[in-house]
Amino acid sequence: MRWLILTVAVIIILALLTAGAYFGLGWWQPPHTTIGESTAGNDAASESATLEDALSIAHQALDEIEHKVRDYSAVIVKKERIGKDPVETVMFAKIREKPFSVYLYFLDRSDTKNIKGREVIFVQGQNDGNLLVHRPASIYSGTLSLNPKTWPATMGEHYPITEIGLANLCRQLIQRGEAAGEPSQVHVKRYRKARINSRACTLLEIAYPVAEPKLRGYLARVFVDNELHFPIRVEIYELPVDSGKGPQLLEEYTYLDIKLNNGYTDLDFDPKNRQYKFP
């Protein structure tokens, strides 16, 4: 009996030591469960809508986020055409709305093999307005402090980190819609039965005037989650030089595995967090 008690005690001590090493030494991975390709679909039946309808949905979604969402985590899958080729990036993200704070852990990127494990932190009003980046695969193993809106922080990106997140996604949609010129020239279709993976969505297909020079892309496809009431995927297409090829994807942003209101604190956006691997 005494032998059994001693054995159990040793096992418990070893378990505690292992747990301490796991968290204390930063052997940690973000809880990403979906990092592969996201799938989208919709039924063939559509109904007509207006640009005013689309803008109303975008404003309601932004209001929902601003008043009910304090923070969230998500796996972000983005595709952006860089030069002639589309580049796909997969990131685990923690985002807090006030003050606007972002933690990114890069999982994959199609144009480089050395992205996994990169960490980025940005907190509005801190670090002299700069973002902090740790690149474990780089010969420079320290922490870089970069202006988020200039090179090299924006290299290979359509938008700076200051414009990431669901609220900013809604703001960009509103800005695009309000810049569309004559609303009667904008054609909108609504698909009630759409999906992103297993999430039920409503799809809005918004075709802007082809000749409108202020618009970056002439077709937007917006998947609004029926339960969350805000977009979880946005696709932007532009007209190619060869009109026979049809629209070409310019950018696509998908938010997967969204978990709302996790109670994030300043520590979640601090490079000194022992769960992270910042030097």
In a domain, 98, yes or no: yes
Q: Which residue has the higher pLDDT, 89 or 43?
A: 89
Segment (H or E) for 20: helix 2-24
3-class secondary structure, 132: strand
In sequence order, the 6+-apart residues with CB closer than 8 A to the CB of 168 are none
Phi and psi torsions of 173, nearest 5°:
-65, -40
Number of domains in the chain: 1
Burial (CB < 10 A; 0-12, 13-18, 19+), residue 222, is: buried
pLDDT in tens, 69-93: 999 999 999 999 988 888 999 999 9
What is the CATH number for 220? 2.50.20.10
In a domain, 279, yes or no: no
Distance of alpha carbon 219 from alpha carbon 217, whole angstroms: 6
Q: In this structure, are strands 231-238 and 248-260 parallel, antiparallel, or unpaired? A: antiparallel
In a domain, 34, yes or no: no
Q: What is the pLDDT of residue 218?
A: 75
Residue pointed to by tokens 């490079």? 271
pLDDT in tens, 154-172: 888 999 999 999 999 999 9
In a domain, 52, yes or no: yes
**What tokens were used for 120?**
């980025």
In a domain, 196, yes or no: yes
**Nearest in space to 150 (alpha carbons), one of 130, 121, 125:** 130
Q: Range with the lowest mean pLDDT among 74-78, 137-141, 248-252, 256-260?
A: 137-141
In a domain, 8, yes or no: no
Residue 162: which domain range? 40-269
In a domain, 181, yes or no: yes
pLDDT band at 233 (very low <50, low <70, confident <90, very high): very high
In a domain, 30, yes or no: no
